[in-house]
Structure 1
Amino acid sequence: MTTSVPYELIIVDGGSTDQTVSLAKQYGQVYQLFNANRGAQLSYGVTKSSGEILWFLHSDSVIESTKDLLAIIEKCFSDSIYSAAFFKLKFDSAEFFYRYLAETSTLRALFLGLIFGDQGLVTTQKNYEKAGGFEPVPLMEDWRFSRRLRKIGKFKLLPFTIQTSSRRFRKGKLQTHLKMHQIKLLYLFGVSPKKLAERYYR
């Protein structure tokens, strides 16, 4: 990425046994947390950061355009009305099902105040701390964190598209989609993230 805005790239690996770490070291500082859940990985990455703005990305995320991206992100947070920002989502498939998922994900973030991990959540270090940061939970860490962020400010939709993998749906699109909604519903009924993770990864 060519930019006049200084940045650091921090990669937190959950204990890969393939070539992930050696490849990642070519691009940024890599840390390994064995047997750590996703919430703990995200939280640990923040402790290693010295930046004023934090941008959280999944490893399979692809930004379709990076021209002036960091400068635009920086400008977004010059307005204190925003507590977080996110990207318009796209899947690596042009099928209607994935276009539907992408569009509804964007609407969910805008109107329900829920930014999920594959939408490239961005916030400031100050807002991260004010909202309590990511909790070391195995699931729903993005839901819990974004709800707290929404209480302290608005969310900004950035003028960029982020592409994510459709691999989790390939064993059954409708079945996986319904399962994810079931997880969300159970969470609203008070089921713990630990029990939800057991069901989700089963």
Structure 2
Amino acid sequence: MAAPPARAAAAAARWSTDSVMAPVRLSVVLPVFNEAAGLDAALQALAALRARGTELIVADGGSRDHSAALARAGGAQLVHAPRGRALQMNAGAAQARGEVLLFLHADTQLPADADELISQALASGLRVWGRFDVSITGRPAMLKLIATLMNLRSRRTGIATGDQAMFMTRAAFEAIGGFPVQPLMEDIEMSRRLLRLSRPACLRAKVQTSGRRWESRGVWRTVLLMWWLRWAYWRGAPPERLAEWYR
């Protein structure tokens, strides 16, 4: 449950004061489930950030492959959680020590200077959360247009998606009670709640995310499905029903 407005405002104000006095320390939370095929590459891509002090937590949702072993071998802190992206991200955040939390999909790669960009975006205290622009890798030419429209929509509405590598201060995360435990649209609902604290910092630096979802299901079919699911969610359809439709 989200915190009362007074408590949320106090938490945001506390960050505004503290951020001027102390450097940002970043924790990256990576939820995984059977991601062994690409996990080693994902961990390697984060090596430079980790060398500069970023904490990496892999939250495993009961993978049946060797994702957990790869996480340990790659030097990440491993957290076990019930399967479900929201549950896994909350479990990872509970173990994180950073002042800022970044939630990263296993098939998404951050810019090399992500830590510095986030520090600059939050330093004034006017923003307590944000996200990156996204580019989608893959063969279909439509993926570039889809990414452009995602970024424009997010900048206009203040709603971010998990593909855009959402980040937030720990104070903001705690003020709204973490990710809502629901099987779909947890990123949309999280954005709604964070908007009570501030508008997002919409960074133009891009993360790269895999277009495998669009390629495997068909680009237009996936686009239409996601638009329809979002429309149904705004109309009040329960996330559990939406998850069934998505599957």
TM-score, normalized by the shorter chain, greater than 0.5: yes
% same residue = 31
Deviations along 1:90-114, one digit per CA (max 9) or x if unpaired, are 1112643111111111112211111
Contact in 1 for aligned 2:102/2:166 (Cα 8 Å): yes
Residue 18 of structure 2 aligns with which residue? Answer: none
Pick aligned residue for 2:240 from 175, 194, 199:
194
Contact in 1 for aligned 2:172/2:194 (Cα 8 Å): yes
Matches within 5 A, 1:41-190: 41-63=88-110, 65-67=111-113, 69-93=114-138, 95-170=140-215, 171-190=217-236
- TM-score under structure 2 length normalisation: 0.75
Pick aligned residue for 1:29 from 69, 74, 77:
77
| Structure 1 CA distance for aligned equivalents of residues 214 and 162 of structure 2 | 16
User: Offset of 1:33 from its aligned partner?
Assistant: 2.2
User: Offset of 1:164 from its aligned partner?
Assistant: 0.8
Residue 14 of structure 1 aligns with which residue? Answer: 61
Secondary structure of 1:82 counterpart: coil
- TM-score under structure 1 length normalisation: 0.91
Contact in 1 for aligned 2:129/2:201 (Cα 8 Å): yes
Which letter maps to 2:68?
V
Which letter maps to 1:28?
A
| Structure 1 CA distance for aligned equivalents of residues 62 and 91 of structure 2 | 14
| Structure 1 CA distance for aligned equivalents of residues 234 and 199 of structure 2 | 22
Contact in 1 for aligned 2:138/2:212 (Cα 8 Å): no
Q: Kindly tell me the number of residue pairs found equivalent between the two proteins.
A: 198
User: For structure 1, which runs of at least 5 residues remain unmatched after alignment?
Assistant: none
Contact in 1 for aligned 2:134/2:208 (Cα 8 Å): yes
User: Offset of 1:161 from its aligned partner?
Assistant: 1.4
Which letter maps to 2:185?
M
| Structure 1 CA distance for aligned equivalents of residues 98 and 219 of structure 2 | 38
Which letter maps to 1:101?
I
User: Offset of 1:143 from its aligned partner?
Assistant: 0.4
| Structure 2 CA distance for aligned equivalents of residues 199 and 27 of structure 1 | 37
